[in-house]
Amino acid sequence: MAFIEIRDLTVEFTRIAEDGSEVPGTRAIDGISLDIEQGSFVSVTGMNGSGKSTLAKCLNGLLLPTSGSVCVDGMNTRDDDKLWDIRSRVGMVFQNPDNQIVSSIVEDDVAFGPENLGIPPLEIRKRVDEALKQVGMYEHRLKGAHMLSGGQKQRVAIAGAIAMRPECIVFDEPTAMLDPMGREAVMKMILELNAEGITTILITHFMNEAAQADRMIVMQKGKVLADGAPSDIFSDLEMIDRAGLELPPLIELREKAGLPGHILTAEDLAAELKRMKDR
């Protein structure tokens, strides 16, 4: 059984008519089915309005299906009695860290999640310190959150998720508001967390980030347009164009130079160039 099972998921947002009644509005997710395996790293991408962020919010019950189901470790998000267990297993990191930081002091903010889980105080202290060290923010633990940069705030938000010891973390556009250095630092942390065995789901419109996952899902108008290894996804240039996406610069270079399709990273390119030189 997959860690997350999505079956015929549909999410519709209603709107209010002039007479005050609710009427069907936008269908953000349109009957998709997916399995997410434990320990995997999956990226989900697509243009604005493709449904990728709506999907992210369904994975721990922040949004409930209009029809269909989402099950986490066998627990249905529609089951109110299981919602707390689901959210302890699936952590969320959002695009804007200011929307996620709830305390004025850094270490208090990281402690907020474990406190709500009823973790004993000594264990909370240990988790907070470990999480802050893991994201490189331990020396800032007594600072006010308002004194941090955007990248530092995002690290604190990630530490808050880590401190809850989830089995899965969903990152919903976590680098969208960061500069290139901040994006690189956050991606490094995401890769490290996945290497530790945490199931990782990255919602992103940055193709170079999506390419670092083991599996890539492309969405369009609430449906899954493509699902596969990044090397396969980026070999389908017609689909990429149809989805309104751009190739990462390195892959665009690969295509123009006629290099093999497995090249996704600078390391892949360096290895291929060395191989060609040694032939």
DSSP conformation letters of 176-221: TTS-HHHHHHHHHHHHHHHHTT-EEEEE-S-HHHHTTSSEEEEEET
Nearest-10 Cα torsion for 36, 63, 205, 182: -90
pLDDT, position 81: 94
Q: Rounded distance, CA 248 to CA 264, Å? A: 9
pTM over 0.85: yes
Count the neighbouring beta carbons within 10 Å of the beta carbon of residue 135.
23
Burial 149-185, CB ≥16 within 10 A → b, else e: eebbbbbbbbbbbbbbbbbbbbbbbbbebbeeebbeb
Instruction: List, in order, residues 6 or more apart from 160 with CB less than 8 Å away.
Output: 100, 109, 110, 112, 113, 131
β-strand pairing of 199-203 with 168-172: parallel
Task: Set out the domains of the chain in order of their start, with CATH numbers.
Answer: 39-61+88-270 (3.40.50.300)
Q: Rounded distance, CA 44 to CA 220, Å? A: 11
- Dihedral sign from CA coordinates of 93, 95, 100, 106: positive
β-strand pairing of 75-76 with 90-93: unpaired
Q: Is 126 exposed, middle or buried (0-12, 13-18, 19+ CB in 10 A)?
A: middle
Among 210, 206, 219, CA closest to 55: 219
Q: What is the H or E stretch that residue 232 is in?
A: helix 230-233
pLDDT, position 277: 80
Please give the structure tokens belonging to residue 94. Answer: 């959002």
Q: What is the H or E stretch that residue 39 is in?
A: none
Q: Do 213 and 230 form a contact (C-beta atoms < 8 A)?
A: yes
β-strand pairing of 90-93 with 168-172: parallel
pLDDT, position 196: 94
As averages over each run of 10 residues, the pLDDT of the chain (279 residues) reads 94 79 80 97 94 95 95 96 92 88 90 90 95 93 90 92 94 90 90 95 93 95 95 89 86 78 77 80
**SS in 3 state form for 73-103?**
CCEECCCHHHHHHHHHHEEEECCCHHHCCCC
